[in-house]
Amino acid sequence: MIKLFGGRIASALVGISVLAIGSSASAQALPIDYNLTSAASSANADTSAKPLDTVASLASTLVRPAVAATTAIANSNGTVFQAQPAQSVTLSLTPSIAKEAAWLYQGGWPLYALVDRFATNAQLDEQTNCLATAVYFEARGETVEGQLAVARVVINRAASGRYPSDWCSVVKQPYQFSFVRRGQFPTVDTNCEAWRKAQGITRVAIANVVPSLSNDVLWYHADYVDPSWGHNLTKVEKIGAHIFYRA
């Protein structure tokens, strides 16, 4: 009996070994299904989705403008200003001082803060330098409102058609501004606070975002003098030590 069972057990073991070898061979020979579409379908995935495109295409997708809850504007250095927080912001990057000043003023910045913001020692072009020089010598002891008014008179004159058409020619016109001597400016102390402020006033005046004198105000004089020509003009208002007129 032992021999009989032993023989049968041996035969069974041989058969199992053969099946195992056959199964192993079959497993190695089975092709691998790389049909990802079928796999995605079986997983209920969206097979209509398109693959990511190029980097440029992806970047354009990422920078799509958000729904604007407010508008932020950056300066030429790339600094972004935002008066109030918002859930989403549309950035309008621009080097324009006028746009930046307008946005800040609408956001509640007072004149003195705007002047300080733009009071830098950055290089001025010839015309802007003439305007800043007029502010410096004519009104550096005045409030920012008084200095802005003086700048507005120079700008108004150049635009009026009654005076030279550029700021330097307006300021250097004979017998108009007392600090000018034979068409020449005195030396400016470019390291002082008054010059820095005059530059800020000039940039704000050019931006024309802060209400000041109307465009028809072309004359002013100090309140401690009484020139005869002022009697033929209409007095507008007194700002600091200067009285301003229109025709």
pLDDT tens per residue, range 158-178: 999 999 999 999 999 999 999
The mean per-residue pLDDT over the stretch 10-37 comes to 40
To the nearest whole number, what is the mean pLDDT of the chain? Answer: 74
Q: Cβ(193)–Cβ(218) under 8 Å?
A: no
What pLDDT was estimated at residue 182? 92
d(CA 129, CA 28): 86
The mean per-residue pLDDT over the stretch 61-84 comes to 38
What pLDDT was estimated at residue 226? 96
119-123, 125-129, 184-188, 208-212: least confident range: 119-123
- Site of tokens 């309140």: 223
6-10, 62-66, 94-98, 223-227: least confident range: 62-66
* pTM (predicted TM-score): 0.62
Q: What is the per-residue burial (b if ≥16 Cβ within 10 Å, else e) of 18-54? A: eeeeeeeeeeeeeeeeeeeeeeeeeeeeeeeeeeeee
Between residues 216 and 13, which one has the greater pLDDT? Answer: 216
108 dihedral zone (left: phi>0; alpha: psi -120 to 50; beta): left
